[in-house]
Amino acid sequence: MDYRSSGVDIEAGYRSVELIREYVDRTARPEVLGGLGGFSGAFSLAAMKNMRKPTLVSGTDGVGTKLKLAFALDRHDSVGIDCVAMCVNDIACAGGEPLFFLDYIACGKNRPERIAEIVKGVAEGCCQAGAALIGGETAEMPGFYPEDEYDLAGFAVGIVDEEDIITGEKIEDGDMLIGIASSGVHSNGFSLVRKIFEMTPDALSEYDAELGTTVGEALIVPTKIYVRALRALRDQGIEIRGCSHITGGGFYENIPRMLPDGIRAVVKKDSYEVPRIFRMIGERGEVEPRVMYNTYNMGIGMVLAVSPENAAPAVKILGDAGETPYIIGHAVSGGKGVDVV
């Protein structure tokens, strides 16, 4: 008896490493020390010495049950982007610049080509965020995961000068809220999605004219990464007083996280058009509007608070950076929370 007979193929692990090497190399930054295959990833902080008070910020997250959609579609090249996005967008919310990323893939059976597809997506996400993929782990766990399934999670580290950390404490009555469009459902609320849409090839291949694509293709679109958009604002001298990544919990849970005590957010539903995929979820699942706004991003993946005089310039800068921004509301004095009206 050997390890392979128990379900773990060490040779497949070696093959996976070779297949992902080219994708990892794409994400390299000058600060990366060493190469793929070491016991740890090394990243030099020498370039950060010009900061007055360099501060590390970090984020960790996974893709969640959106992976069930990837299994049903047999599409594994984009969930890695979701994994990176969920981590680096949180870092960007604090004003941080992502430096490096590590992934963790746990699977029932190591299929090297599939692992390579997953890591290809991770590398693409890292390139979009400007982060280096400096390491990771692929764990083959027969008997724990079904052979055709896997889990995917990640961890990112970024840096920001302490004086530039976005805390939300400067938000005041009259500040404007800018919403940046999402790319779709992103990576939250899929347990409910899977109750509404069957995770079968036939159901997911349904074409919708307003979507302009199939239900499956609309749902699998990866999470948008907002690192470059926020960097563009900082580079143009726009003060971001508060920043909220709209993930699980939607508007009602996430927007208050950026607010100081005594300040309330007012978001106007009619300030932008809610994308078709969310309207389909609400209609087919008979989901109450408040539940929708408490579960999904509803077409807005990031919310920023800026001073009134910075609102128009910020919208222009974001548009020039390739984003679709909307002024979706404002801050008012009151008990901390959010009103979606």
What is the per-residue pLDDT for 150?
Answer: 98
pTM of the model: 0.95
What is the per-residue pLDDT for 279?
Answer: 97
> At residue 194, does pLDDT exceed 60?
yes
Q: Is 189 left (phi over 0), alpha (psi -120 to 50) or beta?
A: left
> At residue 35, does pLDDT exceed 80?
no
- Residues contacting residue 283 through CB under 8 Å, at least 6 positions apart: none
Q: What percent of the chain clears pLDDT 90, i.e. is strictly above it?
A: 87
Amino acid at 60: T
In this structure, are residues 238 and 310 in contact, taking their beta carbons and an 8 Å threshold? yes
Q: Count CB neighbours of 4 within 10 A.
A: 11
What is the per-residue pLDDT for 62?
Answer: 97
What is the per-residue pLDDT for 137?
Answer: 93
Q: Kindly report, residue by residue over 84-136, the tens digit of the pLDDT.
A: 999 999 999 999 999 999 999 999 999 999 999 999 999 999 999 999 999 99
Cα–Cα–Cα angle for 109, 115, 118, nearest 5°? Answer: 130
Residue with tokens 């500040």: 175
What is the per-residue pLDDT for 12?
Answer: 78
- The CA distance from 118 to 80, in Å, is 6
How many alpha carbons fall within 13 Å on the CB side of residue 47? 10
In this structure, are residues 272 and 299 in contact, taking their beta carbons and an 8 Å threshold? yes
In this structure, are residues 300 and 329 in contact, taking their beta carbons and an 8 Å threshold? no
**Which of 41-45, 228-232, 288-292 is predicted with the least confidence, judged by mean pLDDT?**
41-45
- The CA distance from 283 to 215, in Å, is 14
CATH, range 8-164: 3.30.1330.10
- The CA distance from 79 to 37, in Å, is 23
Q: Count CB neighbours of 322 within 10 A.
A: 9
Q: Kindly report, residue by residue over 290-302, the tens digit of the pLDDT.
A: 999 999 999 999 9
Q: Count CB neighbours of 113 within 10 A.
A: 10
Q: Kindly report, residue by residue over 317-329, the tens digit of the pLDDT.
A: 999 999 999 999 9
Query: What is the CA 131 to chain-centroid distance, rounded?
Result: 14
In this structure, are residues 306 and 175 in contact, taking their beta carbons and an 8 Å threshold? yes
pLDDT, mean of residues 22-38: 86
Q: Is 9 left (phi over 0), alpha (psi -120 to 50) or beta?
A: beta
pLDDT, mean of residues 29-55: 87
- Fold of domain 176-340: Phosphoribosyl-aminoimidazole Synthetase; Chain A, domain 2 (3.90.650)
What is the per-residue pLDDT for 276?
Answer: 98
Burial of 246 (0-12, 13-18, 19+ CB in 10 A): buried
Amino acid at 17: V
Q: Count CB neighbours of 136 within 10 A.
A: 19
pLDDT, mean of residues 42-47: 90
What is the per-residue pLDDT for 218?
Answer: 98
> At residue 239, does pLDDT exceed 90?
yes
Sign of CA dihedral 154, 243, 167, 97: positive
Amino acid at 77: D
- The CA distance from 80 to 62, in Å, is 9
SS3 content of the chain, % helix, strand, coil (to 5): 40, 25, 35
Strands (DSSP E) found in the chain = 32-33, 42-43, 54-62, 97-107, 132-140, 150-161, 176-181, 207-208, 213-214, 242-245, 263-267, 300-306, 325-333, 337-340
> At residue 170, does pLDDT exceed 70?
yes
Q: Kindly report, residue by residue over 250-270, the tens digit of the pLDDT.
A: 999 999 999 999 999 999 999
**Which of 28-32, 67-71, 327-331 is predicted with the least confidence, judged by mean pLDDT?**
28-32
If you average pLDDT over every residue of the chain, what do you get?
95
Q: 150 - beta bridge partners?
A: 107
Q: Kindly report, residue by residue over 2-28, the tens digit of the pLDDT.
A: 556 666 767 777 678 788 888 888 999
Q: Kindly report, residue by residue over 144-161, the tens digit of the pLDDT.
A: 999 999 999 999 999 999
Q: What is the band of 36 on the pLDDT scale with cuts at 50, 70, 90? A: confident
